[in-house]
């Protein structure tokens, strides 16, 4: 229950798992995962992704939750408490900045989902299976500056509203009811998508690995996507851990959240990719419009399709909301704790800053040539922000968190925190090797190679 007015707490372990899963499950799973799988050649990417979840995601998630629960603070305050007077606090600041920027571009896509909900309700996609038509509808829609900015603002407002209602009342209740419903709906849609004419090419792409496609850029993308999807590397799980009670089992909670999140991502692939191939869309070049182009095709091919479409876009919107809430919560918790602002003032000011950062992203997809090509031909403000602050800084943040926990705070303190009230930390030796060596070295190699390959070479 709420401890004081400005710092909340989860009401139970299930409450936390669902809220944690609510943070993790979002556009990352349903929109970004199938798109990146499509761009990176399918099944091999999926294998690398699963390895990243296991080798990086799980250890870093346990690390973040332990730091958060130990200190009961936001990422900056938490790190200052554990390593006073050191420069490690900048890892916390990087998280706060990353949170603001991810929130800004994420709200743009979430706004598109709301727009698509409206279009589906209005019956705009009834009986349309031609990808040329769904593609044009998408392009015209995202190129409209007024609508996209309005929808972005709407989503930022909605997130702020939930955050103002506090942690347990707002975030937890929303997740508890709707995440299970999303799972059921995705299963139904996956069955329909997999039985469409021509879907088998999609299943093949998704499930039969072609190892000649393996390359370092794909590994970086998989790593960034795993961390993004699990909400790691910017302190979200430190913040969520700070609301977790001492009696809950951190390790099993982390396993559940990773499992749920990965399950939903894989399932989304089974919905989107068969449909993409059945409709004859090229997944390697479709970009951020992929799901918006492909999903209407599934709905048109099933009885009651419009109803399923309305249900799906509603639930994606809510999944996005339980994620944006956790993203904006990082900067908000920082100002509440460190600057001692009221929750209300913190939420409103952070939301306004993000909105300003979001406008160029909203204009990046056809509305403005300037923002559409800001960093070179085809390199929009949106693309660069979502790569730098969706992959790179999360990888850097995770690297530092693993090194911090493995070498500075030390894994024995993680074990102590986890075992605080009688829970047992299984396979301690394995965990220690993971946070000290495997996770940081893996990230450092992929990161270092990318910097060398893209910038220095």
Taking the complex as a whole, how short is the minimal distance between the CB of residue 288 and ligand PHE, in angstroms? 14
Q: How far is CA 380 from CA 144, 233, 284, 341, 362, in A?
A: 16, 24, 18, 35, 11
| Rounded Cα–Cα distance for residues 256 and 262 (Å) | 10
Task: Please say whether the beta carbons of 349 and 164 come within 8 A.
Answer: no
Closer to ligand PHE by Cβ: residue 37 or 199: 37
End-to-end Cα spacing for the chain: 54
Taking the complex as a whole, how short is the minimal distance between the CB of residue 16 and ligand PHE, in angstroms? 15
Taking the complex as a whole, how short is the minimal distance between the CB of residue 137 and ligand PHE, in angstroms? 24
Taking the complex as a whole, how short is the minimal distance between the CB of residue 229 and ligand PHE, in angstroms? 4
Quickly list H helices, 122-144.
131-142
Taking the complex as a whole, how short is the minimal distance between the CB of residue 278 and ligand PHE, in angstroms? 26
Closer to ligand PHE by Cβ: residue 24 or 162: 24
Closer to ligand PHE by Cβ: residue 131 or 224: 224
Taking the complex as a whole, how short is the minimal distance between the CB of residue 19 and ligand PHE, in angstroms? 12
Closer to ligand PHE by Cβ: residue 239 or 411: 239
Taking the complex as a whole, how short is the minimal distance between the CB of residue 340 and ligand PHE, in angstroms? 24
Binding site for ligand PHE (CB under 6 A): 23-24, 26-29, 102, 228-229, 231, 234, 236, 323, 326-327
Closer to ligand PHE by Cβ: residue 48 or 234: 234
Closer to ligand PHE by Cβ: residue 117 or 279: 117
The beta-carbon contacts of 184-188 under 8 Å, at least 24 apart in sequence, are: 185/308, 185/311, 185/312, 185/315, 186/30, 186/264, 186/267, 186/268, 186/271, 187/267, 188/308
Contacting residues for 75 by C-beta, under 8 A, at least 6 apart: 91, 92, 95, 96, 234, 235, 238, 239, 330, 334
Task: Please say whether the beta carbons of 99 and 76 come within 8 A.
Answer: no
Give the containing element (helix H, strand E) for 57: none
Closer to ligand PHE by Cβ: residue 102 or 147: 102
Question: Tokens representing 41?
Answer: 């050649």
Q: Which residue is nearest to ligand PHE (CB)?
A: 28
């Amino acid at each position: 229950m709420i401890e004081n007015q400005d710092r909340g707490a989860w009401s139970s372990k299930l409450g936390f798992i669902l809220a944690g899963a609510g943070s993790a499950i979002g556009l990352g799973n349903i929109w970004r995962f199938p798109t990146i799988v499509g761009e990176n050649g399918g099944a091999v990417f999926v294998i690398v992704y699963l390895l990243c979840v296991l080798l990086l995601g799980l250890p870093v998630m346990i690390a973040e939750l332990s730091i958060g629960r130990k200190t009961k603070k936001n990422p900056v305050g938490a790190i200052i408490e554990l390593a006073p007077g050191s420069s490690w606090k900048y890892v916390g600041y990087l998280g706060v900045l990353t949170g603001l920027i991810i929130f800004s571009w994420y709200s743009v896509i979430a706004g598109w989902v709301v727009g698509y909900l409206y279009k589906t309700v209005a019956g705009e996609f009834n009986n349309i299976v031609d990808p040329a038509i769904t593609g044009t509808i998408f392009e015209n829609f995202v190129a409209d500056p007024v609508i996209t900015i309005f929808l972005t603002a709407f989503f930022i407002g909605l997130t702020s509203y939930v955050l103002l209602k506090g942690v347990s009342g707002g975030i937890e209740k929303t997740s508890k009811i709707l995440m299970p419903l999303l799972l059921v709906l995705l299963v139904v849609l996956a069955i329909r998508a997999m039985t469409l004419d021509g879907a088998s090419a999609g299943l093949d792409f998704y499930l039969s690995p072609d190892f000649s496609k393996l390359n370092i850029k794909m590994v970086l993308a998989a790593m960034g996507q795993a961390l993004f999807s699990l909400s790691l590397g910017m302190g979200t799980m430190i913040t969520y851990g700070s609301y977790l009670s001492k009696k809950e089992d951190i390790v099993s909670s982390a396993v559940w959240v990773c499992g749920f999140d990965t399950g939903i991502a894989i399932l989304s692939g089974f919905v989107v990719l068969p449909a993409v191939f059945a409709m004859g869309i090229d997944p390697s070049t479709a970009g951020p419009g992929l799901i918006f182009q492909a999903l209407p095709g599934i709905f048109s091919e099933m009885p009651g399709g419009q109803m399923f479409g309305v249900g799906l876009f509603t639930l994606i919107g809510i999944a996005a909301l339980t994620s944006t809430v956790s993203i904006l919560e990082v900067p908000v918790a920082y100002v509440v704790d460190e600057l001692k602002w009221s929750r209300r003032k913190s939420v409103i000011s952070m939301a306004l800053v993000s909105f300003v950062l979001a406008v160029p992203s909203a204009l990046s997809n056809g509305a403005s040539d300037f923002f559409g090509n800001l960093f070179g031909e085809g390199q929009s403000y949106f693309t660069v922000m979502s790569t730098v602050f969706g992959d790179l800084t999360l990888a850097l943040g995770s690297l530092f968190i693993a090194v911090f926990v493995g070498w500075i705070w030390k894994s024995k303190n993680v074990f102590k925190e986890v075992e605080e009230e009688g829970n047992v930390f299984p396979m301690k030796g394995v965990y220690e090797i993971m946070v000290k060596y495997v996770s940081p070295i893996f990230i450092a190699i992929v990161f270092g190679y990318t910097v060398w390959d893209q910038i220095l070479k």
